[in-house]
Structure 1
Amino acid sequence: MSRDVEFAAAGDTAQEAATLMGEIDVGALPVGDARRTLGVVTARDLVLRLCAAGRDPATTPVTEVMTLDVHHCRADDAVETALDVMASRQVRRLLVRDEHDAVVGWVTLSDISRRLLIDSGTIRTALDELSGR
Structure 2
Amino acid sequence: MTAHAEWIAPTLSVAEAARKMRDHKIGCLPVGENDRLVGMLTDRDIVCRAVADGADPATTKAADVMTKGITYCFEDDTVDTAIDQLEAKQIHHIPVLSREKKRMIGILALSDLALRGPQNLLTRVSQLASRDSQTSATH
**TM-score (norm. length: structure 1):** 0.85
User: Which has the greater radius of gyration?
Assistant: 1
Pair 125,102 (structure 1): closer, same or farther in 2 beyond 3 Å? closer
- In structure 1, the residue matched to 2:24 is 24
- Counterpart-to-counterpart distance in 2, 1:48 and 1:29: 16
Whichever residue aligns with residue 80 of structure 2, its letter is: E
- In structure 2, the residue matched to 1:131 is none
- Counterpart-to-counterpart distance in 2, 1:46 and 1:125: 31
Query: Identity across aligned pairs (percent)?
Result: 35
Structure 1 residue 69 displacement after superposition: 2.5
For residues 48-127 of structure 1, the aligned pairs below 5 Å read 48-99=48-99, 100-116=101-117, 120=119, 126-127=122-123
- Counterpart-to-counterpart distance in 2, 1:75 and 1:35: 18
Q: Write out per-residue CA displacement over residues 33-64 of structure 1, whole angstroms, 9 at most, x where no aligned residue.
A: 69311211000000000000000000011110
Structure 1: which 4+ aligned runs deviate by more than 2 Å? Answer: 124-128
Pair 34,103 (structure 1): closer, same or farther in 2 beyond 3 Å? farther
Paired positions, count: 123
Pair 23,125 (structure 1): closer, same or farther in 2 beyond 3 Å? closer
